[in-house]
Amino acid sequence: MSTLNRRGFLRATALTLAAGTLGATALTAPQAGAQGRILGTVIDYAAGVPSAASIKAAGHLGAVRYVSQRRPGTENWMIGKPVTAAETASLAQHGLQTASVYQFGRAETADWLRGAAGAAVHAPQAIAIHAAAGGPTGRPIYIAIDDNPTRAQYDNQIRPYLQAFQAALRLAGYQTGVYGNFNVIDWAIADGIGTFFWMHDWGSGGKIHPRTTIHQLPQNQQRKIDGVTVDINNVYATDWGQWTPGRPAPAPAPSAPPAQAQDQVNQIIDAARRASSL
């Protein structure tokens, strides 16, 4: 897969931000709808890689896997990152499927802290690792917001980060997933960000968002498979972002902003270029 070029990334970022200025519908793809009943479970993990046979024996549909490297300080224990082609092939051989999520930093090193400029660093890595593991285009990559942010943090940092990341994914032929709590998912939907939504409970007040595709259960419901601690996630949609290596998926149709937005697009290109040079 070719590397996402800087100029293309900046332009795609600008187009997405312009759409937010002019109305989210200009660049919003059809939304993946969650269902009201639990269709099964998938797992996620980072401290190791349980065997596909054991995952299947435990009754799961598959796994959401990290398309991100280990952050500094976790090299010796976060050995389940990143996902590999051998792992996804083994899952497929056992009738299991994979979805992709990107998260490198956390807390004081969270990926979203630099806003759109952070996406310029992280989005190309997510795309490259997803492709190297056998992930096709046309499928989503979940962008992790593993926090309970304030509205100000969302407005000033998280929204620009998600918008820029989504722009990069669209440019490369992918859809967008958002991993976050109730509020982050609600705010992202209002801004036209994301087509798949993976919800965690931190700061969600016991509520499950009606658009939730996957719901990560609390830590007290974690389990061990082959000695590896795994999170359990309820699946609410037949399409939860899953893919199988070697099996292509149709890419979403691209869309463009209104012609009259060109001046605003050019202004945002300049702003994105300045931000990415910080």
CB 211 within 8 A of CB 34: yes
CB 52 within 8 A of CB 84: no
Sign of CA dihedral 50, 48, 178, 27: negative
Residue 39: CB atoms within 10 A of its CB come to 13
* Domain edges within the chain: 30-249
Give strand pairing partners of 178. Answer: 143, 197
pTM: 0.82
> What is 30-249's CATH superfamily?
Glycosidases (3.20.20.80)
The residue with tokens 């949609």 is 237
Give pLDDT tens digits for 163-215: 999 999 999 999 999 999 999 999 999 999 999 999 999 889 889 999 999 99
The CA–CA distances, whole Å, from 233 to 45, 124, 148, 160, 244 equal 11, 27, 19, 28, 19
Give pLDDT tens digits for 89-131: 999 999 999 999 999 998 888 999 999 999 999 999 999 999 9
